[in-house]
Structure 1
Amino acid sequence: MKTQKWLASAAISGLLISAAFVAPAQAKISLGDEQCNVALNYDVTVEPKRLQVSQSGAEQYRIEQGDLYVNGEQVELNEQQQALVNDYANELSRQVPEVIDFVGDVVSIATQAVSMALTPILGDAAGSQIDELLVGIQQRVDELAYQQGDKFFLGSTETTMESAFNEEFEKEIEQVMTNSIGTIMMTLGSEIMSSEGGSFDEKIESFALKMENIGQEIETQIEHQAKDIEYRADKVCNDFESLMAMEQNLRTNVPELAPYVLAKPSKDFVKYE
């Protein structure tokens, strides 16, 4: 099912948000599919007249009203360099709000799909525990990519990730699993044993068919949303690939920016068939 596979890829592989609490030291916000494979190395803050690129809360460089500052010191620019800096700042300032909006919608749809898939199987009690966990994930993603008035923030560094998906979140996951694992196992067992068929294998096959039907129902309900997200994913990825080329040109022509690679091909990309 294309929609379900895409949602799994977007929620798990495309954003790699779940990796933040599995392996925080390797986590990055990244966008990935078969054609697009982009990761961000720094946090980005966009305001009307100011663009800041930072790491672990420390500013690396900023572009403010056309002026470039690297490590707090203004860089003198010639006419060509100034044009490149302005174009880059304008393009990044345009793309960051789009990415933030996209990330929020993908996580929202993915969590909606998970809830819709699990609640009919696990029942309301366990389903409410899962929903609580999904709400927690949504809130932490909102710490990584958010808008506050005319300020936009897109976080991607290890410190930012670890701050959002911290030990407290790990404990929340453990607590939810501890509270619900018994109910989940009993409900699953009951669902399997009450499925049609005489033998255990027949019941398993019947249960698998039920799962597939639930998946089809979910796909039907979120098909329009998923198609819109898929279109936007292609646009976001294409825009960031163009941005990487623009950034490479900027770093070549402005030596002070050479060490700072904001966007690059992601090594963490995982292909889902």
Structure 2
Amino acid sequence: MSVLAVGLLASSVVIGDTNLNVGQECKISVDHELHVSSEQVRLIDDGHEMWRIDAQGDLYVEGVYSAQPDNIQEMLVDYKEGVERQTEAVVYVMGEALEITSEALVSVFSEMFSADHRIVQRIEDLHDTLEVEFDSVVYQENGETIVRGQELESFGDRLGDTIEQEVEEIVSSSVGSLLVMVGRELIKGGGDMSDFEQRMENMGADLEARIEERTVRIEERADQMCDEIIVLNQIESELAMHIPVIANYPLFEQAQSK
């Protein structure tokens, strides 16, 4: 397994474009800001609150209360709670992807050099940078989880490219360190690199097993998300027939069968 393959394995699992695809049949469209808490869910477009649903299913359209029949209000409660759960799941899945990516890269370079080598420090700095950036697009404020859809799109688009470019730059700028490492291993093995190769293979196998275990958990969570999105898409479609603002700002999609 190459260094780049290991490093990019996790990040490729879940980070995509604006639409977070969590299964073959469903996806979440996050094109605007969502402000989510246990008390309410709000959708913000260009700084303006377009709709708000509280825990009782009361609907506010551009800040004005919009009375709904009991059956619609019950659906609004289900919709609000579903959006809240999906937001928590998105934060978990994307956060795990970043952590797995960092763990993979740090493990590889630590085994090649040492845990305190400057190359490993650069990898850790890269993770810190991406984590800070992620926290700027999905973050907590005043008891709400805020998802900035447009920012999240650009973050997802550039994450894989950023990691790949940074790793390539680290490797290309560290040729001297790589040669020293190879020379040291040759001397240690009396001209034989087989011990080093075996150590790297063992590390790679262990790393793959650890990554696979965590990505399986992500996939299981994504499957759960997809099952609920299918239900939420049906609720959203029903609400959209009665509430124009819901129709104008859909959050969930179910893929059409080909």
After TM superposition, the score normalised by the length of structure 1 is 0.68
- Contact 2:34/2:43 (CA < 8 Å) preserved in 1? yes
Structure 2 CA distance for partners of 1:6 and 1:151, relative to 1, 3 Å: farther
Q: How far, CA to CA, are the matches of 1:61 and 1:51 in structure 2? A: 8
What count of residue pairs does the alignment treat as equivalent?
A: 239
Alignment of 1:32-181 (within 5 A): 32-34=22-24, 36-64=26-54, 65-121=56-112, 124-147=117-140, 150-158=143-151, 180=170
> Cα distance, 1:264 vs. partner?
3.0
1:248 matched to 2:237? The reply is yes
Q: How far, CA to CA, are the matches of 1:61 and 1:151 in structure 2? A: 16
Residue of structure 1 in register with 2:12 after alignment: 12
Residue of structure 2 in register with 1:217 after alignment: 206
1:101-152 CA distance string (max 9 Å, x none): 3332332222212221233346521111111011111122223333457422
User: Identity, % of aligned pairs?
Assistant: 22
Q: How far, CA to CA, are the matches of 1:107 and 1:59 in structure 2? A: 31
1:226 matched to 2:226? The reply is no
- Contact 2:27/2:229 (CA < 8 Å) preserved in 1? no
1:30 matched to 2:13? The reply is no
1:25-73 CA distance string (max 9 Å, x none): xx42613455654442232212232210123443221113432122333
- Contact 2:7/2:102 (CA < 8 Å) preserved in 1? no
1:260 matched to 2:249? The reply is yes
- Contact 1:30/1:39 (CA < 8 Å) preserved in 2? yes
The AA in structure 1 aligned to 2:38 is P
Q: How far, CA to CA, are the matches of 1:34 and 1:66 in structure 2? A: 30
Residue of structure 1 in register with 2:175 after alignment: 185
For the aligned residue pairs, the C-alpha RMSD in angstroms reads: 4.1
Structure 2 CA distance for partners of 1:180 and 1:257, relative to 1, 3 Å: closer
Q: How far, CA to CA, are the matches of 1:178 and 1:102 in structure 2? A: 26
- Contact 1:43/1:155 (CA < 8 Å) preserved in 2? yes
> 123-132 or 141-150: which moved more?
141-150
Give unpaired runs (5+ residues) of structure 2: 187-192
> Cα distance, 1:191 vs. partner?
5.9
Q: How far, CA to CA, are the matches of 1:156 and 1:260 in structure 2? A: 12
After TM superposition, the score normalised by the length of structure 2 is 0.71
Structure 2 CA distance for partners of 1:56 and 1:128, relative to 1, 3 Å: farther
Q: How far, CA to CA, are the matches of 1:256 and 1:55 in structure 2? A: 12
